[in-house]
Structures are given as C-alpha cells and as structure tokens.
Structure 1
Amino acid sequence: MELSLTALALLGLLLAAWTLSALWMLVSSLNRARSAKNARVAMRRLSKMIDDAPAIPLLVKSDGRLEGPDRLAAWLGLGKLPGFITELDSGSAGLDAADLDQLRDAVKRTQKTAAPFSMVTTPRGSERSLAVRGQLANPAIATGGAVLIWWFDFSESQGELSRLRGETARARNDFAALVGLIEAAPMPMWFRGPDMGLRLVNSAYVEAVAAKNAKAVVDDQIELIETVDGLTAAQIAGQAQDRDTPVERIVQATVGSQRRTLRVSDLPLGPEGVAGYAIDIEEMEEQGRAFRAFRAAQRSMLDQLSIGVAQFDENKLLTFANQPFQRIFMVPASAQVDPPTFERFLDFARDAGRLPEVRDFPVWRGELAQWFTRDVPQEDNWTLPDATHLRIVAQPMPDGGLVLIAEDRSEQLALSATRDTLLRTRTATFDSLFESLAVFAPDGRMQLWNRSFPAIWGLPEDFFDAHPHVDKLLDRISNRLARPGQRKAISEVVRASTLDRQQRGGRVVLSDGRTLEFAGVPLPDGNGLLTVIDVTDSTKAEEALRERATALEEADAVKTRFLANMSYEFRTPLTSIGGFAELLQTGMAGELSDQGKEYVAAILSSVERLSSQIESVLDLTQSEVGLLPIATEEVDLLGFTTQVVRMREEAIEAKNLTLDLRGDRGAGTVNADARQLGRALGNLLDNAIAAAPEGGRILVALGRRKAGARIVISDNGEGMKPSELARALDGYRLVGSDGRDGKRGAGHRGLGLPLARQLIEAHGGRLEIQSEKGAGTTATVLLP
C-alpha cells in the first residue's frame, strides 16, 4: 500500500515535472516564435531600406560569385544579376571591357591586401554615372575573403559637376580670350586697383612707355599720361571712381619717341578698380587740320573761278560766297560780318538790279526759297535788266543747306551767235570753192557737202538731202568708175580720216575718161573731210613731163655709158704712147738729141696728165651712177695728210708758196679708202696751189669733232664769185680773158672739185666751200 503511494507520488512528481517542462518549452517556443517574427520584420525592414537606399551592395566571393539585388542589374542594363563577376559585361550591356578589367583588378587587390578601392564607371549604352566603392567584407557577412562593393548613382551630381566644369572652362577660355584681346589690342590699356595703382597693362602700353616688360611697368608705376593742370593720371582715375562716371579727355603724350594726341578714357569698375585705355587720334587731328586747310584752299580756288558759287546753311544763312558771286550779285561787304538769309540776299540783289524783272516778286521769292526742300538740283536761266544772261543751278545739300551756282553766259550766247555766222560763212565758202568737198561723221554718214560735190560725180542733189552713208554713196558712183574695184580705195580714205585720224589720198579714173584726185583729212571735231578735184588736164601734162623725164634719164645714161666707154678706150692708146715714149727716153731706139729728149719728156708729162684726167672722168662717171668702189680701212689722218702734202712739194716750191700744216695726233683716225680720199684731198690742194699767187700762203688744218674729223684747206688767192663757184662745182671749165685756162682767181678748172665732192660724199662726208672775190677760198672736208 505504502509502495503504491510512493509510486503515485513519484508519478505525480514526474507528471508535474513533465508539465512544467512542457510549459517551459511552450513558453520558450512562444518566445522564439516571437523573436523570429521580430527578426523577419526587421529583415524585411532592412531589405526595404536597402532597396530604397541610394547605394546598392554587391558581394563578390573569393571564387568570383556574385550576391546582390536585381536592382543593380537594372542599373547596369542587364536583365538579371549574373552569377559571376566576369559576366558583368554582356557585350551590349553592363560594364565595358576596360571598366570590368579595372573592377576585377581592384577586387583581387582588396582580397589580397584588404585595401579599399573606388572607381567611376558608365554602363554600356547608358548615360548613368556610377561610383563604385569596395572593401573587404566583414566576417559576419561573409568569410573566405569576400569583397563588399557599394554602387552609387551620382548621375545628377555628375551632370551638375560637368555643367560647372564646362562653365568654368568657358569662363577660363573667355578670360583667356579677353586677356589675349587686351594684350593684342593696338591701343594702350591698363587696370588700376582700389588704390589707383597700376596692376595690369598690355603690350601696347609697355611699348608706348618704352619699358622692358609689363612687370617693370607695374613695379615702377610708369604712367603713360603726363600730369595735366596739376592732376596726375591716377588722380583723374580716382575722380572717375568717386563719381562712378567714365571720364574722357584729349591730351598730348609721348608714345615711343613721338609726340601724339590721345583720347584717354577712365572707366570705373566699382570697388575692384578703374580700367583705362588710350586711342591715338593724331591722324584724326591731322585729317581735321588737312580738312580745314582743304576747305580754305577750296574756297580760295573758288575765288579764282569765273563762275559764282555761294553756300547757304540749314538756317538759310549765307556762309560763303566767292568773289565772282559777290561781283555778279553785288553782295554788300557787310554780308561777311552779318550773314544775310536767302530772302534778304534776294532783296539785296533786287535793289542792285541783279535779278530778273518779275510781276510778283514776293511770290517768286517764296518759290525760290523752296529750293532748300527739293530732292534734286534745280536749274533756271535769268535775264537781267542789263542784258546779262545767267545760268542758275541750285544744289540742295544733305544737311539742309543749299549751294547756289551762277554762271554768266552772256559771252557764250554771243559766241553762239558768232558761231552761227561762221557756219553760214563756212557754207558759203564751201559752195564757192573749186574743189568738191564732203564731210563725213565717224559713223560714215555724210554731214556737209558743197555744190560741186554732186556735180563732179554726176549725182542729183536731192540724193544728198537724206545724208546718205558712205557705202550708199559708193554704190551710186560705182558704175561711173572705170574700175569699179576702186570704190574700196575711196572707202578706205574716208575710214582713215574719220576713225584712224590719218590723212590719205588716192586717184580714180571715171568711165568718161576724167581723172579725179581725192584726199581724206581728219578734222578737229572728229569728222573727216573728203576733197575731190578734177586733175584730168594736170594728169595729161604730168604724163607728158614724165615721158620727157624718162627720155632725159635715158639720154643721161647714154652719156654716162659713152663717157665711161670712151675713158676706157682712151687708156689703151695712151698707155701705148707712154710706153713708147719711155722706150725712146731709155735709148732703145738710139741716143736722142737734147731737143728730142725735151720732146719725149713733154710727151710723158702730157701722157701722165691726160691719164689723170681720164681717170677723173671715169671715177666721176662711176660715182654719179653709184658704182664707184670704196674699200675702207683705218687711216691715220695726220700722217695721211702729211703724205698728200709732201707729194706736191715741187709744185709748192716752184711758186715759192708757204704751206702751214696744223694738226697733231689728236685728229685721230678715220675709216676711208686711202687712194680715193687721197685723190679728193689732192684735187683740193692742187686747186689751192693753182689759185695762190706767187709767194702766197696755204693753210691745211686738221681737227676732231664729236661727229668726226674736219680738214680745212684755204688759200689767199683771188677767190671766186658765187656764180663762178657754182660753175666750178658743176665741172665747167673757166677760161681767162687771154684765152688760156684761168686759174682759181677766175674759177676752178676741169673736174677736180666735182670729183673731190663725189669722193668725199662716197665716204659719207660733206664738202663745204666758201669763196669771196679778192679774199681767197676755204674748202672744209667733214668726215664721219
């Protein structure tokens, strides 16, 4: 019984313990369930917070596996998050190859060194900018060297940053461009700080003050503008800053080594300081001075014109009137001190009788006052009471003024009347001339003609009333020409006189046997004058004279050939006579008596003389027909002339003559045929010896000129009259009163002078002879 109670007690205790255990387990289960619920709620909250966070985590395990939300795949442009890090580049989306390689290298470096890393990447085909920051994962998160990578989307920040960087770059570029512009500006520019000290200057400023560089200018505070009226440039800039108003002034300054006129401007820039620049206006000042000088010169020139010129300003006041204008309208001298208006000027001119008479002067004056408001120049003609004719031109000016030009045309009208009279006189003169005249314009139309012109061509006068063209005129006269092709010659003459401005002429033969000579003469007015004259009678006379001249030429040729042949034929027997006489003189036929020897000597002398005469005739004949042979060589003039003189020593000594040879080596040389030139000088010297009296004097002078050499041969003989000299030059023989050959006192003999002249002219020279009766003769030879 006791065992049962103990068993029951133990059983009750066991049940109680089990119940307590069950209750404890139940309570523990409830607590764990509540903790798990709280953990799940916290997990969901944390997961939601991570999903909404601006950063996305990515866990990269040591084997390259990836763990992370799919939201990161959307950022990378992938459909889902890949399993391995190498699959973040799909070719068309994800990271590009370079960024992926950089990320893998950074992950490996972090796994080995636990060093964090960061980088920036932009997925393929996306404008999203992602910042990547990686570090070694906490062992609580993952073990085995996993790397936790946080991805941040900072696209908006990057855009703003890019914009700010762009604006900064643009501002930097603009500032650089502005500084470059200021530096490149051709005018000096500077900047002053709040203390009015120079802080910045450009190259033009440095060059203007002749400084080493801009730093030297700023350090030494070198001012370009000098002190004016006790105020420095810095003080004036301070006044501009105090007033906050730009200050502009014109001053003189030394720029480089020149004194220039500058327009200086100081511009206040608030508390930062004052900017300034200087513009060189020296050329403008010079142009202003030149313009004032030009205006003064122009007005002085206008005073020299014969046309009156006056200028009124926009207020209708007379500002200028040249002397002719004042004289034409009798402008009072007080007008220079008190300029009158246009209306008052008209009143003055009317009182002086220098305006035309009009019925209603106030209305007429008002009409003239409207010239100031017209758009085009106005022109009018005024006839004054004293019969003066004025041409008035009113030129409105852009500034509202008026230029009035008055031209006195009285003389022109008188000249016009005179011209009309001259035209009528010309027409009457044309009609009274013997020649046939016609005037053609440059276009070929006939302008004027006289009465003889239609008659000489046999054309009706009414044909010319229409002023026909030259081609139409030639068509009408072609059938009247013996050769119709000659119409072209007439056309060429008209064209040459009108267009080419050349004078030409010609001759045509008509079918009726008449011969007309025509000529085209250019006229000063641009037209051409065609003159036609009937030269039938003169042509016939000319043909007769031409036939006679031809006969004379043939006769002269026959004479020349006769003389040449006869001279040649004379040489053969003369040579034989001389040869036989020489044989007799040498004793080939036996010893001669003294008288026989004298006869033989006389024969030889006559043969020599006759040979010289025959040779002279032959040379003269050949020279006249242009067949004289000339073989030129360089001849020393002094030695050559001396030799010619020495060859005549016996003749000079026989007459006891004094020969003075003047010359030296300065006479030089000439290109000549020594034989022919020697004959020419010898003939002149022989004539001088023959003309000089017993014991007379002969002068032979040599000289050099720029154009060549000069040889003078003079004697103190009796000289010749002009008629005798002319006959001597023509080769006529002069005979003295005693029936013997005269000496040069009565003239020259034979062909000496004509032959000498022909020989000298054949050398391109000239022979001049001056002779006076009783004073001797001088022969001058000019050689090139």
Structure 2
Amino acid sequence: MAIWTLHPLLRGKAEIRDCAGRLALTVKRKTVRLALSASTMLTACPVSQALAQDQNAGGIGTFSSSEMVGFALVIGAISATLLSALWLVRQRNSIEAESQEMRSALSDANQRISRYQALIADKNRRIVIWDNSTDRPEQLGQLPLETGAPTAETDFLAFGRWLKPASAADLDTAIERLRFNAQSFDLIVETYRDEVLEVQGRVSGGRAFARFVALNNLRAELAELKIEKARLSTAIQTFESLLESVEQPVWQRDAQGQLVWVNQAYSDAVEALTPDQVVHEGREILGTIAREKIRATVTPESPFHETVSTVVHGNRTFYSVVDTKTPTGSCGMAIDVTREEALREELARTLKSHAETLDHLATPVAIFDGERRLQFYNQAFQQLWGLDLGFLESRPDHGELLDRLRSAGKLPEQLSWKSWKENILAVYRSIDTETALWHLPNGQTLRVIASAHPQGGATWVFENLTEQVDLETRYNTLVKVQGETIDHLSEGVAVFGPDGRIRLSNPAFRALWGVTEAEAAPGTHIRAIEAACAPSYDKPDGWRAFGKMITSFEDERPSSQGTIELLSGLVLDYAVIPLPNAQTMLTFVNITDGVRAERALLEKNEALRKADELKNDFVQHVSYELRSPLTNIIGFTDLLKSEAMGPLNQRQAEYVDHISTSSAVLLTIVNDILDLATVDAGIMRLNYSEIDLTDLLDDVSMQMTDRLQEGGVTLDIIAPNQLGQIIADQQRLKQILIKILTNAVNFSPEGGTVVLKCWREGADFVFSVTDTGCGIPEDLLPSVFQRFSSSTKGGKKSGAGLGLSIVQSFVHLHKGTVAINSVPDQGTTVLCRIPTGTIVQSVAAE
C-alpha cells in the first residue's frame, strides 16, 4: 500500500474522536435548553398563576369570560408544552441513534487504524514522518537486521554510519529537498553490508514522508541491475571520453561491417568535419584489401594485429591495426607507426653501412650475438686467422671457433686450455670491456678488446701491435744507447724536467762539480743540486740562473751558453739547451787548457750533432709510428659514436668527443712536426704543377667552412674574376693559405670578418689575410715565425705554435716572401708573395 493512502487514515483517527465529543456535547446542550424552555413557559403564564392562587384559597366560584379565556390559554399552553415534550423525546431518541452510529463508525475506524498500524509495523519497511511543528520525526516499522540498518531512531537517521558514502550523501540531499522544497524522490541505496534498499520520499498534508523498503529477491536484483547499469553507463561514457581524446583513430562496426561510431582522431584522418559525418558517409581509413583481410582473419579468440599501409592527408602512413570481433560487430584502433617504420629502415641502412665500413677496416673485427654465434666479421678478420669462408658463414659458436684456431696452432699455447677458454668467454657475462695481449706462435702480438653488448653478445677487436712492440723495443734500445753514450761523454751532462727536478746526469757532471751520485740522484730538485755545488761555485748568478731558465713558464725558451770558472780553478764551458716536453739539458765542458778545451769542444760538437740527429730520428720515428695508432683511435672513436656499438650515456659520449677532438689535434701536430722535420733534414721536395688559382681559392674556402662556423667568423675573398694560373706545389700552397686563415680565424672575435685579398703582380701571386683580432705586440713580432711560439692571448684555441713556422718554410721553398704587420687591438695582416716556378725544376730546402 502506498504511503500517501496511509496518511488520511492516520489523520482520520483524530478527526473521528473530535467529532464524537462534539456530538455528545450538542445533545446535552439541546436537552437542557428544552427543559429550561418548558419551565419558563409554565412559570410565565398568568392563567396558571391565577388558578394556582384560587386553588390555594380553597374556594370554587363562577368563571367569567375573561377567566374562561385565560383558562383556555392555560389549556393551550399545557398542550403546547406536552407537544414540545413529546418532540424533545423524539429528538433525543434520534440524537442517541446518531451517537450510536458514530460510536460504531469510530470503533470501525479504530479497528482499521490498528490493522494499518500492524501493516506499517512490518519488518520489511520503515517510515519516517516529519511534521513542520516538530523537528523530531516520527518513525514507524523496522528493517531486517541483515540490511545493517540500526533499530534505534537516532542511529537510524545517521545515514553515514550504515549507508555507503555515495548513497548517504545522495539520501541526505534528497531528504533536505523533500522537507524544505517539497521535491519527491525515488532512490536505490546500498548499505555497508552490500544490501540494497528502496527509498521513496513524498509530501502530503503538510507532512514529509520517507519510506525505506527492504526489497525482495526479484526487486533487489532489479535494483542491483539498475546500479550496475548506472555504473556501466558511467564507465562507457568515461571510455568514450578517453577514446575521443586519444590521437589514434578508433572505430566500431556493426555485424554488416558498417561504421557506427568513430572518434575525433578518425574523423581528422579521413578529413571529415565531425565523426557523425564519417559514420553518415561511411568514410574508411583503411583500404578495401585491408578491410577484407581483417574480416576474413579476425575471430573472437584471435584479434587482428598487423601493420597496414594507407594514405592519410596525401602521405603514405603505416598503422599498427588492432581489430577484435564483438557479439554485435567489431571494433578497432590504428596506431601510427610511420616514424617507427622509417627508423627501422634507417637502422637497417645504418647497419649495412657500418658493416661495409667495418669490412674495409684494416683492423680485424668480429661480432657475436647473444648465443655466442658469429654474426659479423670483416675481411681483415678472415685474413688474420686464415679461416674458411664456408666455416665462417655457418655462424659457428665462439667456443667452436677457438677450438678450431687452437687445432690449427694459431692461438697462444696455454698450460690450462679449458681455464683460458672459460676466461676468454666470460666477457659475455661481464659489463666491462676486457683487454688482453695475445702473443701468437707466428710472432705477432695482438691486443684483443672484447666489449659486451647490453642486449647480449660481444664485439671482438684484434689490434695488431707487432710493429708497435717492435718500435717500443727499438725505442728502449735507443734510450739505453743514449744513456750509455751520455754516461761515457767527457763533458758533464744533466737533464732537468719542467718541475726543476733532475732526470739524469752522467759521471762527468758529478766529477766536475764534486757531487756524489746520491746527491744527483734522479728526482732531486735543482735547489738541492745548487746547495751541493755551492762549495765549488758560490756566485749568485750561477745555479740560480740555471734554475730560473729550467723552471721558466715562458712559451719561448731560448738556449743559453757561456763560460764559468770554479773555485778549484777549472774553467767550464756551459750550455743550457731546451729539449722537447719542456725539458732542459745542461752541459759543462772543462776547457782548462787548450788541448783538453779543443778536444772537449770537438766532443761537445759531436755530441750535440748526434743529439740533434737522435732528436730528429726520434721525432721522425715517433711521428710516423704515432700516425697509425692515431688513425686507429680516430676510427674506433667514430665507431663508438655510431649506434651499431650500442648507446652511450652522456658522460661516455662527452669522453668520446674529447678523445676524437684531441686525436685530430694530435694528428695535425704530428703532421706539422713531420713537415718541419722534413724541411730541416733538407729532403723536402716541391711537386710543381700548373694550378688554377680560382679553383684553389674555391677549394680553400670549402675546407675552411667548418672552422668558420665553429669560430663564428665570416670570410670575405676579394679577387679578380680571372686570377690565371701559376706553377707551384698545389698541396703546399693550399697548406699556406689554410694555416694563415686558420690563425686569423682563431684570433678573430666572434662575429668578426677575415678578408683574403688576392692579386697578380706580373707572374707572382700575391695575397694578404687580414683579421680584426687583438693584434700582436711589437716586441713579439720578431718571434711569430719561430717554432713552438704560441700565444693564447685573444685566441679561441691554443696550439703548438707550428703554423706560421710551416708557412714561412713553405713560402721560402717557393722562393717567396712572407711578412706580417700587426697593430695591437686593431688586427693583423699577413702578406705573402709566391713567384711562379717551372715544372722541371725541383727546389729543396736549405
């Protein structure tokens, strides 16, 4: 029974009781009024009063006409009184009958109210009634205990204690609107025991009612379905919003394969204004063949997942398509993998290019995969070990490869082959690069570098150190010979390092100065040497001057020589000679008498000549032998930068860049030293040829592009359209131009301009290079062409100080002239004149 039908019954109970009370009071009032009316009439009648008086007198007489009239009136009044009494009796009986009927109706109403109260008090529902006259509501009925609803009235109204937060919040809001805004509601709420209740809110007769009903199985299941439907609707809306916001096209099709829904990304891909237009027009993002393939292969258990090519906005696009079958049709998503496909192709091309590069390297390289099988090898690897190509192409295991090399007698002999082999193969489980030296039976010495890959596998590099070991052996022998030679010289020789500590000294030096071998031991500071030599020579301008020259930090270290006389009477001819690596050699010759002085002088000259030859030989040998390792270092540095060797972290990348830059600088210095050594040895020969000066300038400007961009400098070339031709050594002339321009760029400020001006004066080719740098002080101008004369003031980079020296040597070889003009803080101009030569002529350095 609905709650709004109970309210009139509850209110009718009170109304019936009020009606019965009012009726009884009305009957009593009418009876009293009738009695009063009768007594009044009898008391007020004159006839009655007269008869009463006569009767009281006890006499009987005749009656006059007036008396008869009065008597008649009395009789009429009595009759009227009797009639009124009879009417009142009948009226009273009628009232009593009505009262009895109302009592019966009241009894029936009470019985109905009792039945309704019993019905309301059922344990499956509870009613809360709010009256405007009171804040405390009236509660009827109970809810089952398994719902978790409290029985106490105060606890029941604390909905947050037994209802879930969302349900309690919705119910509080609905009841507040019901009481104050008369808004009815129907809610389904959940308790903490996961029970479902139905709550109905209504307003009737100025009162607010809320009925809580514990649903039976069917209704509870229906309520749960409603809640689940609401939850699923919310989830569907959430997923649709998510799919609308993603950048990947998403679609849904019906059983016939027609589009029923697409997201905005799909609409943008097919160039439609809205998704509805796409569905209406049936625009497809995939081709017909792709759609037919999807329809033929997709099943509920096996979704379609492949990369499909299509055209989007006029460009070829690759999508990774995922399409799955549903009971009502299908749905799918397309992920743009165009960039990944391009990267995959680029990686394949890069790997192929790296493989071709490695194949042309002279250093043997072999790459093994995660299963330790040979994946790549270059020609140098095959030639080093002399292995059959068929065996290498079968991708042998690394252990199998080592066994075959051992059987062929190509690996070093080991006491325990098994342990050595396990140690070699342990690199696949290591995270660091392993390096070892293999001395092969054929006399070769290999440096084996094994680098494990992060994804598995390893790269093996076999560097042939045979020539390097031979060079080191010869170098050590040369050093020993040098030491023996110095030890047997009759002149005193001492070599000091840049820190002022003695490196070596010969017995003649110790004998001349009267110092012991312990006092002149290697590592002794020059101050201690000075103190030990003080008894023989105590002049303040002696050893202190030597110490100042030896420990000087000046870029230019000129040699010095002179004669000193010891306290013992010996006269020594000394020389301070700067050596490479900032070392300094002191020589002392005893010239006490003429013969010994002459012999000492000859020995000294011979020793100096041999030392110079030894220096040149040493420079040439070291320079030539350094070029090959430097080339390998540069090659392997470029290889480490490539993606084929695996990614490098930021610090490793910085280290590799430093190695590459330093190696290039060192290679340039070595080449310059070789050129200077060749010039000094007098074996430099110019290769004269006919040179087109315009092409030469174009070639030079192209080679200077990177240096100009790095220094932020602009190069302006001012030259006639036709400079003509000149006969000269093209390579050396190009070196002259590049070194002068490089020096100008180095000392030019960022944003500055270097001007190269060229012209012809007769058959001579004349050019000048002008920069806007800091200039050169006047006192340094005479030394700018000296070797190892380098000033870093105002320059972006510091060098070895060989550039202008090489320029002067090459210009002089061409029988030309070079001059430099500089103004501090304004710039420097270098002017060169190169006369034309003849092809048949060969010019050597003096």
Q: How high is the TM-score relative to the length of structure 1?
A: 0.45
